[in-house]
């Protein structure tokens, strides 16, 4: 601490104790402050009370700091409470007894060490100990609240770090997964149509550029995500032709956000887990409905054994929504339709 800081601390400490003693004096002898003679008459007691109050305050702070380094309010609250009260009240009794005895011996000429009433001196410590009890209760309340707040902040910071790590891992997992599926589709397409394969590669490069651009973002604008979805579906249209039919919303206003690549996961699941053929075209519809974006498709699941389930993609999206907001996607499955409602986020990014 600098000299200025020390001076300010001493000044605040002194003013606080002067205020405490003045308030007590006003409470016990309000008439003493109505005249100069009254003020002079209580001056010795005022000085002695100031030293006693200062000693009790210093002791309370010292006891609190002593146990701060040894016993946690969070881990051992009962032990901390008993030891803090016990040690401080013992200290308060000793310091009060010594100061009061010294004050009596100095100010009362008829009293000396031979005729002093020690039981009476002990009785005089009742009021200071009561004040000490109030002081240490304040220190205890302050210490417990500060430690509880710090523990809560640390827990929240740890939780945020864990969620950020989880979110980073979830997004990073999309890159190899998406690229593998796209290259697998290209492998089948290249033997059928060379021109379509060239367009497919071009679209894939645009899509993968988007994946790289958003992999370090927690949320992206709805329009960017819809633009990506359109490119992704166009790429799949090259692969499936008339077997895939899709529609997207037009002229969506700005200000809405989604976790990046949410639509890619849902669209990929829809294509992967449903029959897509000329006899049974797959219809995918993306619509904005108020504060949500719905992604639906007609339900025509592949025979058992040809699909590995779609839980991973949805869990991915739900985990990232929980990180960004308290709202999570809703999944609706009927006999003929599978629909996911993605809440639209309003973020200050």
Do 111 and 30 reside in the same domain of the chain? Answer: yes
Mean pLDDT of 102-123: 86
Amino acid 170: pLDDT:
54
Mean pLDDT of 87-96: 90
Do 133 and 258 reside in the same domain of the chain? Answer: no
Mean pLDDT of 109-117: 84
**Integer Cα distance of 186 and 200 in angstroms:** 7
Bigger pLDDT: 275 vs 149:
275
Distance of CA 177 to the CA centre of its chain: 32
Do 205 and 130 reside in the same domain of the chain? Answer: no
pLDDT of 110 > 70? The answer is yes
**Integer Cα distance of 333 and 175 in angstroms:** 28
Bigger pLDDT: 13 vs 167:
13
Half-sphere CA count of 329, side-chain side, radius 13 A: 24
pTM for this entry:
0.52
Mean pLDDT value across the chain: 82
Residue 333 lies in a domain: yes
Do 234 and 277 reside in the same domain of the chain? Answer: yes
Among 156, 176, 209, residue at a domain's last position: 156
Mean pLDDT of 240-257: 90
Percent of the chain at pLDDT exceeding 70: 88
Amino acid 308: pLDDT:
46
**Integer Cα distance of 116 and 274 in angstroms:** 100
Q: Nearest-CA neighbor of 293 among 237, 240, 253?
A: 253
Amino acid 248: pLDDT:
94
Q: How many CB atoms sit inside 10 A of residue 56's CB?
A: 25
Do 116 and 249 reside in the same domain of the chain? Answer: no
**Integer Cα distance of 246 and 230 in angstroms:** 9
pLDDT of 315 > 60? The answer is yes
3-state helix, strand, coil in the chain (%, to 5): 65, 10, 20
pLDDT band at 171 (very low <50, low <70, confident <90, very high): low
pLDDT of 323 > 90? The answer is no
Do 211 and 262 reside in the same domain of the chain? Answer: yes
Residue with tokens 């809440």: 343
Residue with tokens 């033997």: 191
Under a CB-based contact definition with an 8 Å cutoff, are residues 223 and 188 in contact? Answer: no
Window from 6-20, 51-65, 127-141, 184-198 with minimum mean pLDDT = 6-20
Amino acid 18: pLDDT:
78
Mean pLDDT of 6-26: 73
pLDDT tens by residue, 276-311: 999 999 999 999 999 999 999 999 988 865 444 455
Bigger pLDDT: 59 vs 347:
59
Among 156, 177, 210, residue at a domain's last position: 156
Do 120 and 215 reside in the same domain of the chain? Answer: no
Residue 182 lies in a domain: no
Residue 172 lies in a domain: no
Bigger pLDDT: 312 vs 300:
300
Distance of CA 141 to the CA centre of its chain: 23
Residue 27 lies in a domain: yes
pLDDT of 172 > 70? The answer is no
Mean pLDDT of 207-226: 84
Do 137 and 229 reside in the same domain of the chain? Answer: no
Mean pLDDT of 207-224: 83
Do 276 and 325 reside in the same domain of the chain? Answer: yes
pLDDT band at 333 (very low <50, low <70, confident <90, very high): very high
Strand ranges (E), the chain: 220-221, 244-247, 257-258, 282-289, 292-298, 330-333, 337-343
Residue 24 lies in a domain: yes
Mean pLDDT of 244-262: 89
Do 51 and 195 reside in the same domain of the chain? Answer: no
Among 135, 156, 177, residue at a domain's last position: 156
Give the structural domain span for 48. Answer: 3-156
Largest CA distance in the chain: 119
Residue 151 lies in a domain: yes
**Integer Cα distance of 23 and 280 in angstroms:** 88
Q: What are the DSSP calls for 207-243, one per residue? A: HHHHHHHHTT-S-EEHHHHHHHHHHHHHHHHHHHGGG
Triad 32, 46, 128: Cα angle to 5°? 110
pLDDT tens by residue, 129-148: 888 888 788 878 887 888 88
Mean pLDDT of 203-222: 82
Q: What are the DSSP calls for 116-137, one per residue? A: --HHHHHHHTHHHHHHHHHHHH
**Integer Cα distance of 249 and 284 in angstroms:** 12
CATH of the domain at 209: 3.30.565.10
Residue 180 lies in a domain: no
Q: What are phi and psi of 332, to 5 degrees?
A: -125, 130
pLDDT of 318 > 60? The answer is yes
How many structural domains comprise the chain?
Answer: 2
Bigger pLDDT: 317 vs 175:
317
Do 143 and 240 reside in the same domain of the chain? Answer: no
Half-sphere CA count of 196, side-chain side, radius 13 A: 17
Mean pLDDT of 57-64: 84
């Amino acid at each position: 601490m600098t000299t200025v800081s020390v001076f300010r601390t001493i000044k605040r400490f002194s003013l606080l104790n002067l205020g405490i003693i003045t308030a007590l004096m006003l409470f016990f002898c309000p008439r003493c402050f109505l005249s100069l003679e009254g003020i002079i008459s209580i001056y010795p007691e005022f000085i002695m009370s100031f030293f006693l109050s200062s000693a009790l305050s210093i002791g309370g702070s010292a006891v609190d700091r002593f146990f701060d380094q040894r016993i946690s309010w969070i881990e051992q609250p009962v032990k901390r409470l008993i030891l803090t009260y016990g040690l401080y009240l013992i200290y308060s009794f000793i310091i009060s007894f010594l100061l009061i005895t010294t004050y009596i011996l100095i100010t009362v000429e008829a009293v000396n060490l031979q005729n002093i009433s020690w039981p009476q001196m002990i009785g005089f410590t009742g009021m200071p100990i009561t004040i000490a009890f109030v002081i240490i209760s304040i220190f205890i309340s302050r210490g417990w609240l500060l430690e509880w707040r710090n523990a809560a902040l640390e827990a929240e910071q740890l939780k945020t770090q864990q969620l950020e790590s989880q979110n980073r891992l979830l997004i990073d997992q999309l890159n190899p997964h998406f690229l593998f599926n796209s290259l697998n589709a290209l492998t089948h397409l290249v033997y059928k149509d060379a021109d379509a394969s060239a367009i497919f590669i071009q679209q894939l490069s645009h899509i993968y550029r988007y994946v790289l651009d958003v992999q370090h973002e927690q949320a992206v604008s709805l329009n960017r995500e819809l633009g990506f979805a359109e490119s992704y579906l166009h790429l799949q249209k090259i692969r499936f032709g008339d077997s895939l039919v899709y529609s997207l919303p037009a002229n969506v206003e700005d200000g809405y956000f989604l976790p990046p690549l949410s639509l890619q996961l849902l669209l990929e699941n829809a294509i992967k887990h449903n029959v897509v053929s000329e006899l049974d075209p797959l219809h995918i519809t993306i619509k904005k409905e108020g504060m949500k974006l719905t992604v639906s498709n007609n339900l025509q699941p592949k025979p058992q054994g040809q699909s590995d389930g779609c839980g991973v993609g949805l869990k991915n999206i739900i985990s990232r929504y929980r990180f960004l907001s308290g709202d999570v996607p809703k999944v609706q499955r009927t006999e003929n339709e599978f629909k996911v409602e993605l809440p639209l986020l309003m973020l200050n990014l």
